Structure 1
Amino acid sequence: MGKVQITKGKFAGIQACADDKGIIAAAAMDQRGSLKKAIAKARGSEASNSDLTAFKTSITRVLTKHSTAILMDPEYGLPALEHKAPGTGVLLAYEKTGYDATVPGRLPDLLGEWSVRRIKAAGGDAVKILLYYNPFDDKTVNEIKHAFIERIGAECVANDIPFFLEPIAYDDAMDEKSLAYAKAKPKYVTAYMAEFSKPQYGVDVLKVEVPVNVKFVEGMQVFAGEKAYTRAEAAELFREAASVSTKPFIYLSAGVTDEVFRETLELAAEAGTPFSGVLCGRATWQDGIPVYGEKGVEALEEWLEDRGVANVKALNAILAQGAKPWWTVYGGKDQIEVV
Structure 2
Amino acid sequence: MGYPADLLGAGADAAGPPAGVSAPNPPRPVGVGPRAPTARALSVGKLRGLQQCADPKGVFVLLALDHRRNLRRLHPMFASEAELVRFKVEVTRELAPSATGVLLDPEYGAAQAVAAGALPGDRGLVVALEATGYSAEAMSGRPQLLEGWSVEKAKRMGAQMAKLLVRYHPEAPGAGEVEALVAQVAAECVRFDLALMIEPLVASGALFPAEKNRAAVEAARRLSAIPGVDLLKMEFPASPEATDEEAAAVCAELSAASRVPWVLLSAAVDFETYQRQVEIACRAGASGVAVGRAVWQEAAQLSGPARLEFLRTAARERLERLRAVVRALARPFTDFYTAEAPLGWYRAYSTYPNPNEEA
TM-score normalised per structure 1: 0.84
The question of whether the paired residues in 2 share the 8 Å contact of 1:99 and 1:108 is answered with no
Count the aligned residue pairs: 303
**Structure 1 residues 206 and 3: CA distance shift in structure 2, 3 A:** closer
Measured in 2, the distance between the counterparts of 1:97 and 1:88 equals 24
Matches within 5 A, 1:188-203: 188-200=215-227, 202-203=228-229
Report the Cα offset of residue 248 of structure 1: 1.1
Measured in 1, the distance between the counterparts of 2:96 and 2:136 equals 34
CA RMSD of aligned residues (A): 2.2
Report the Cα offset of residue 337 of structure 1: 2.7
Indicate which of 67, 89, 101 corresponds to 1:31. 67
Structure 1 gap ranges (5+) = 175-179, 218-229
Amino acid at match of 2:162: V
Matches within 5 A, 1:131-280: 131-138=166-173, 141-172=174-205, 174=206, 181-200=208-227, 202-213=228-239, 215-217=240-242, 230-269=243-282, 272-280=283-291
The answer on 1:129 being equivalent to 2:164 is: yes
Measured in 2, the distance between the counterparts of 1:83 and 1:268 equals 30
Q: Name the SS of the counterpart of 1:22 in structure 2.
A: coil
Measured in 1, the distance between the counterparts of 2:112 and 2:295 equals 21
Report the Cα offset of residue 169 of structure 1: 0.4
Q: Name the SS of the counterpart of 1:337 in structure 2.
A: coil
Q: After TM superposition, what 4+ stretches of structure 1 lie above 4 angstroms from structure 2?
A: 98-105
Q: Name the SS of the counterpart of 1:196 in structure 2.
A: helix
The question of whether the paired residues in 1 share the 8 Å contact of 2:142 and 2:178 is answered with yes
The question of whether the paired residues in 1 share the 8 Å contact of 2:66 and 2:133 is answered with no
The answer on 1:19 being equivalent to 2:94 is: no
**Structure 1 residues 319 and 98: CA distance shift in structure 2, 3 A:** closer
Matches within 5 A, 1:46-57: 47-57=79-89
Q: Name the SS of the counterpart of 2:41 in structure 1.
A: strand
Q: Name the SS of the counterpart of 1:314 in structure 2.
A: helix
Indicate which of 81, 90, 103 corresponds to 1:71. 103
The question of whether the paired residues in 1 share the 8 Å contact of 2:251 and 2:285 is answered with no
Report the Cα offset of residue 233 of structure 1: 2.3
Bigger shift: 101-110 or 87-96? 101-110
Amino acid at match of 1:216: E
Q: Which residue of 2 aligns with 1:120?
A: 155
The answer on 1:281 being equivalent to 2:292 is: yes
Amino acid at match of 2:326: L
Amino acid at match of 1:92: V
The question of whether the paired residues in 1 share the 8 Å contact of 2:126 and 2:163 is answered with yes
Seq. identity, %: 32
TM-score normalised per structure 2: 0.79
Q: Which residue of 2 aligns with 1:306?
A: 313
Measured in 1, the distance between the counterparts of 2:172 and 2:311 equals 41
What do the CA deviations read for 1:72-127 (whole angstroms, capped 9, x no partner)?
A: 00001121233112301000000011599889962100011111111111221110
**Structure 1 residues 121 and 259: CA distance shift in structure 2, 3 A:** same
Bigger shift: 80-89 or 113-122? 80-89
Which structure has more helix as a fraction of its residues? 1
**Structure 1 residues 103 and 323: CA distance shift in structure 2, 3 A:** closer
Amino acid at match of 2:130: E
Q: Which residue of 2 aligns with 1:336?
A: 339
**Structure 1 residues 231 and 337: CA distance shift in structure 2, 3 A:** same
**Structure 1 residues 63 and 48: CA distance shift in structure 2, 3 A:** same
Measured in 2, the distance between the counterparts of 1:244 and 1:307 equals 36
